Amino acid sequence: MELTAGRAPVSDDARCVGCAEPAAASRCPHCGVAQRAGGYTMERVLAQGPHARVYVAADSTGHRVALKELQFATVPSVQELDAFEREADALRTLQHPGIPAYVGRFREGQGVSLRLYLAFELIAGETLASRLVRGPLAAPDALRLVERLLDILGHLHGRTPPVLHRDLKPANVVLRPDGTVALVDFGSVRTLSSERTHGSTLVGTFGYMPPEQLGGTVDRTSDLYALGATLLHALTGRPPSEWLGPSLQLRLPPGLPAPFDAWLPRMLEVDPARRPPDVAQARALLHRPRTGRPPRLLLSVVVGSVAAIVATVLAPNLLTAGVTRSTATTSPPPAPRLPAGRAWLSRMRPRCNAVEALQAVLREPPPPGAEGAGAGAACLALGGKMDAARKLIVALPESQRASAAAVVFEAGHPAADMGDDVSAAPIMKLVLEFWPENYQALYHAGMSEHALGRPSEARPLLEKFLELYTYDDGFTRAAKQALKRIDFGLPPESESRPVEH
């Protein structure tokens, strides 16, 4: 065990930094938020997910840090524990001004009360995600941003062995007041054992991670793809998921400013071999002299998704999908609006169950539009109210239904990843009604139907998945094995899901 500070004084009238109730003990009896741990006093909760919290905390000298807490009893699998340890080990060895400095780690409690802590530098500033709520970046600002992120990735990828971040996105980029940039949240980090690693744990965020990452295959170009997707968001003010068409294509808008009009198509190639292989070549491509050749205005790539989620990986990070049709215009896209539908779903999520879902949607209807309808349909689907969910989507114009289905998919994806076949099958089949080429929904629906003993339902779904998904990884092997068992009339195996889940 490693401690980093002496005990901080305790006030008799202290109130919880999470719920503001009286909390003289080291942990709030009302909400469970820590008040003190390892000599640190918590000042506020910075982020919170199903299994972890991040606090702003101060030691007895007043020095402030970011303190990440993992509650052992709520961690669903050993992968979350491994990720926590990898993050601590990575931060301890990385030394770069754009990466939070490691402070220390420790643990408190035993058994079900055991909690792991990681203290690291508190980065002051605004996340790129928060900045983009006010509108897209101008080209000169975007160029400075990409140069600084390339510098950070160069440090990570240049280590021996190389280190991959695997979750680069606007929420994990901090813009400091002095104009410098930091890359945070190393909870998905892993080292690269060879030029390419297969079978790694599925992590990442919908739209920002490349398609091969869905199957657990990563290399240096995976982070470069995520950088390109982040810059697309920064330049347009819209997340990459909003450039996704019904047939799983990401369409780059016309009129992107130089040099991004030539740079982004290469960074976002679906084939890793066609992307710049490393940071040096990505930077060289960024500064390549113009040839007078007309810019390539349209690129189609397949976009990958998560398991997760959740995400950073925290659950809210999974609710980021939407589909809009790109329009041919040279004027900048409108400034993005706050994601009202996703915020509604996040707030309503505890009531999206079989007992409360229908009444919850009736009493507090979701916001209008495709995103709101998708959020309402997702809540109903999670509660098993498939007919009601379908009606919300069908009420939309046909061109908007895939967008609503994307929200339903991301809400139901964690249930599929956790092996909840009873819930996953109908949710994924609902998604496929309006988004028939979503290969992830095809896989989860097919594997769920197979696990539920419905081979005639499973076969066409898995066959269609194998037509669309061409990577040779755990997902394809699991689908092929399931089809073999169906061919021979065998029941599903007890463990038929790929190991990278």
β-pairing, 36-37 vs 52-58, is unpaired
Closest by alpha carbon to 499, among 96, 199, 166? 199
Closest by alpha carbon to 366, among 345, 394, 382? 345
Instruction: State yes or no: pLDDT of 69 exceeds 60.
Output: yes
One DSSP character per residue, 209-263 reads S-HHHHTT-B-HHHHHHHHHHHHHHHHHSS-GGGBB-TTS-BPPPTTPPTTHHHH
- Looking at the DSSP assignment, which residues form a beta bridge with residue 29? none
One DSSP character per residue, 287-350 reads TPPP-SPPPP----------SBTBBTTBGGGG----B------SSPPPPPPP-HHHHHHHHHGG
Question: Mean pLDDT across the stretch 379-401?
Answer: 93
Q: Which domains does the chain have, with CATH numbers?
A: 36-121 (3.30.200.20), 126-286 (1.10.510.10), 343-487 (1.25.40.10)
163-172, 212-221, 358-367: lowest mean pLDDT where? 212-221
Q: What's the pLDDT score for residue 300? A: 36
Closest by alpha carbon to 115, among 151, 68, 159, 83? 68
Contact 226, 267 (CB under 8 A): no
CA 439 to chain centre: 18
Instruction: State yes or no: pLDDT of 452 exceeds 90.
Output: no
Other CB atoms within 10 A of residue 439 CB: 21
Percentages (nearest 5) of helix, strand, coil residues in the chain: 45, 15, 45
The amino acid at residue 94 is: L
Residues 6+ apart with CB under 8 A from 91: 99, 100, 101, 102, 118, 120, 186
Residues 6+ apart with CB under 8 A from 327: none
Instruction: State yes or no: pLDDT of 19 exceeds 60.
Output: yes
Question: Mean pLDDT across the stretch 159-167?
Answer: 92
pLDDT digits (tens, 9 = 90+) for 273-292: 999 999 999 999 998 876 54
Task: Give the full edge-to-edge strand order of the sheet including 181-183.
Answer: 126-127, 173-175, 181-183
Buried b / exposed e over 334-350, threshold 16 CB at 10 Å, is eebeebebbebbeebbe
Question: Mean pLDDT across the stretch 232-261?
Answer: 82
Global pTM exceeds 0.85: no
Q: What's the pLDDT score for residue 343? A: 83
Max mean pLDDT among 113-122, 298-307, 413-422 falls in 113-122
pLDDT digits (tens, 9 = 90+) for 253-278: 888 999 999 999 999 988 889 999 99
Mean of pLDDT over the chain: 80
Could you tell me the CA-to-CA distances from 25 to 9, 46, 110 in Å, in that order? 12, 20, 17
% of the chain surpassing 90 pLDDT: 45
Other CB atoms within 10 A of residue 283 CB: 18
Question: Mean pLDDT across the stretch 39-51?
Answer: 86
Pair of tokens at residue 114: 């055991």
Other CB atoms within 10 A of residue 92 CB: 15
Q: How far apart are CA 70 and CA 34, in angstroms?
A: 11
Q: How far apart are CA 86 and CA 187, in angstroms?
A: 7
Q: What's the pLDDT score for residue 281? A: 95
Closest by alpha carbon to 66, among 28, 26, 100? 100
Q: What's the pLDDT score for residue 154? A: 95
Max mean pLDDT among 205-209, 294-298, 325-329 falls in 205-209
Omega prior to 259 cis, within 30 of 0: yes
